[in-house]
Amino acid sequence: MERFIGIMSGTSLDGIDCVLCTLNAEGLPQVEAHYSQPFPSELQNQLRALCQPGDNEIEQLGRLDRWLGSEYASAVNALLKKTRRKPEDITAIGCHGQTIRHRPPSETHHPDQAFTLQIGDANTLASQTGIPVVADFRRRDIAEGGQGAPLAPALHQALFAKTGTCRAVVNIGGMANITWLDGNDAALGFDTGPGNVLMDTWVQQAFDQPFDDKGQIAARGSVIPELLTKLLNHPYFQYQAGPRSTGREDFDAGELQWALASLASQPCAEDVQATLLELTAQTISDSLSRLPKMPSQLFVCGGGAFNTALMQRLETLIHPTLVASTESLGLHPLHVEAVAFAWLAWRRLNALSGNLPSVTGASKEVVLGALYSA
- Residue type (1 letter), 249: E
Q: Is 13 annotated as a binding residue?
A: yes
Q: Is 10 annotated as a binding residue?
A: yes
Q: Is 141 annotated as a binding residue?
A: no
Residue 119 marked as a ligand binder:
no
Give the span between the Cα atoms of 154 and 176, in whole angstroms: 16
Residue 54: Cβ within 10 Å count: 9
CB 222 within 8 A of CB 200: no
- φ/ψ of 355, rounded to 5, equals -105, 160
SS (H, E, C) the chain: CEEEEEEECCCCCCCEEEEEEEECCCCCEEEEEEEEECCCHHHHHHHHHHCCCCCCHHHHHHHHHHHHHHHHHHHHHHHHHHHCCCHHHCCEEEECCEEEEEECCCCCCCCCCCEEEEECCHHHHHHHHCCCEEECCCHHHHHCCCCCCCCCHHHHHHHHCECCECEEEEEECCEEEEEEECCCCCEEEEEEEECCHHHHHHHHHHHCCCCCHHHHHHHHCCCCHHHHHHHHCCHHHHCCCCCCCCCCCCCCHHHHHHHHHCCCCCCCHHHHHHHHHHHHHHHHHHHHHCCCCCCCEEEEECHHHHCHHHHHHHHHHHCCCEEEEHHHHCCCCCCHHHHHHHHHHHHHHCCCCCCCHHHHCCCCCCCCCEEECC
* CB of 257 closer than 8 Å to CB of 207: no
CA distance 123 to 65: 10
352 is in an annotated binding site: no
16 annotated among ligand-binding-site residues: yes
Q: Which residues sit in the known binding site for ATP?
A: 10-17
Q: Which residues sit in the known binding site?
A: 10-17
